[in-house]
Chain A
Amino acid sequence: MKRSASATVEWDVHPLHGAPDTPPDSSGDAFYKTFLAPMEARMLRAVWRVVRDPDRSRDALQEALATIWRKRDRIRTHPNPEALVLRICLDAALDALRKARRSSRHLELVPGPLPELPTPAGPAEVAQERELRDQVREAIARLPGKQAVAVLMRVVQEEDYPAIAAALGCAQATARVHVMRGRARLERLLAHLVPGGRKPGGAE
């Protein structure tokens, strides 16, 4: 029997009694119910849209959850906890994207089919869409962190500027600058794809 179709590994881990990292407790559960459960869909979609790979998305979500756990006190008191959680998820997704980019410079960032796209007419269209997606993700991965998060939150997640500013911990005007500069850089990087886009400066 062929066994290479898929494999999953699930872990349940319980720390030592008295170890610094306590096992899942009621406060952790309460935090999850209050802050994360209502955001599950947004979290996983935010990660998925950047990473586009089930395994890597799960890894990125795991990293995001670990970060959220460490920053739970800050999230509790944050003026916009949802935006902060979303930012953490996007940071983890961008890290995963950059890691994939580093490990496969000359390979596709996204292996496998793209089932979430409308059914294309043929393999040429599939290849074209994949190439487009990879180029955009490659460009996103090359943005500075805050610019990338700001652009993703604004354009892809359609968050408003107050939320972006809260997530980035800056003023709204600064958030707008991050978005503007991110867009400008993307225009240069993707000039060949954007009608009227600026030509690449070469330095990018």
Chain B
Amino acid sequence: MSRTGPDKPDLDALLRAALGGDPTQPVEQRLRASLRPGWHRAQAETPARLQWAWLRLPSWPLPARRAALAALAAAMILGGAGWNLAHVPQAAASSLSAVMAARAVARAASSVSAMTCTVELRGAEGPSTTAVVEWRATTGTVIRVADGPPRVIPAAGGNGPETVLSQLGGTAREQAPAHELPVPALGDFLSPARVAATLDGTWSAVAAQPGASGGDYRVERSRGLPIAVSLDPASGLPRLLRTPEVAAKCDWTPGPPEATLVARPSIAAFDHGGPSS
């Protein structure tokens, strides 16, 4: 290749030696295989990118990734059915910042109707375990838990939330219709699903849009009422801000009290420490 002017063959040779070449065939296949799914994720944009950023976690040790998956399942349960995080199996919640994972999922789950996560954990002797977590706004949660034979937990047709929890080793909290739930105190925790269910009956009431105040606030109007959900820095759980507070932060005109909500989720089962390295 003939170059003129500023070209420096020595430098070019150095750059090509250091930055040239192609990936190995397995790597290239892996990268190529990620393109079309990545394109679909890109179209989902914000929630998918949040998930990607949080759940790729390439630097996390394997136990942390597994725990992140379990925390994801927990957050799905929390978000999908308004359940208590304490129902998550203890073993699943160990050795990670579950709060971080829950926060990411809470963000993502508020604006998607379905998520499927498949995790393969490959050992030196081949595939050793697989976990699949599926959540759908319409039908509920299907979890095939890692370790041992995957447990398929149907979500519909009589196998509702109670079944899921019982198979996970937890106990279902009694669920009351949204209109019978107690009126929350200022700053009470709640799941995005409950906000949506209470206000609108749909998940779309809480969209993953940056609020006017920026940061973690997600603000949306539902039935003409301003609502906001902040992610509590200590727990990573969504917290409802009532109208005056919303108005103060978002410069909106206060409206009537906007929501009822679920009981405060417990995060006692989670280890709040970061991932071990």
A positions within 8 Å CB-CB of B: 1-25, 28, 32, 36, 40-41, 43-45, 47-50, 54-59, 61-63, 65-66, 68-70, 103, 115-117, 132-133, 135-137, 140, 151-152, 155-156, 158, 176, 179-180, 183-184, 186-187, 190, 193-197
Contacts and interface: CB of A to CB of B under 8 A. Distances in A.
A14 B8 contact: no
30 contacts: A1-B128, A2-B124, A3-B122, A9-B69, A9-B118, A11-B52, A12-B37, A12-B116, A13-B41, A14-B113, A16-B204, A20-B209, A24-B44, A28-B40, A45-B23, A54-B23, A54-B30, A55-B56, A59-B53, A61-B31, A62-B49, A66-B49, A68-B42, A69-B39, A140-B19, A155-B12, A155-B15, A176-B5, A183-B6, A184-B6
A50 B230 CA distance: 38
Contacts, number: 236
A186 to B, nearest CB: 6
B112 A5 contact: no
Nearest to B116: A12
Contact of B36 (A14, A32, A69, A156): A32
A129 B227 CA distance: 56
A135 B17 CA distance: 12
B34 A58 contact: yes
Contact of A62 (B52, B69, B113): B52
Contact of B44 (A15, A55, A59, A184): A15
Given A44-B32, A132-B17, A158-B1, A3 B51 contact: no
Contacts of B117: 9-11
Contacts of B207: 16, 19-20
A197 B11 contact: yes
A56 B59 CA distance: 10
A88 B123 CA distance: 36
A151 B16 CA distance: 11
Contact of A14 (B5, B21, B112): B112
A193 B55 CA distance: 39
A40 B39 CA distance: 12
B51 A5 contact: no
B5 A55 contact: no
B203 interface: yes
A7 B122 contact: yes
B23, B112, B121 pick with most chain A CB within 10 angstroms: B23
Nearest to A63: B49
Nearest to B27: A54
B118 to A, nearest CB: 5
Contact of A58 (B18, B31, B43, B51): B31
A23 B111 contact: no
Given A9-B56, A66-B42, A183-B6, A48 B35 contact: no
A18 B122 contact: no
B58 interface: yes
B115 interface: yes
Contact of B11 (A8, A15, A187): A187
Nearest to A27: B43
B19 A21 contact: no
Contact of A3 (B27, B41, B121): B121
B15 to A, nearest CB: 5
Interface string B97-136: 0000000000010011111111111111100110000000
A7 B114 contact: no
Given A9-B56, A16-B203, A183 B48 contact: no
A184 B49 CA distance: 37
B218 interface: no
A23 B8 CA distance: 48
B39 A21 contact: no
A21 B118 CA distance: 23
B18 A136 contact: yes
A164 to B, nearest CB: 13
A193 to B, nearest CB: 6
B181 interface: no
B24 A116 contact: yes
B174 interface: no
Nearest to B11: A194
B87 interface: no
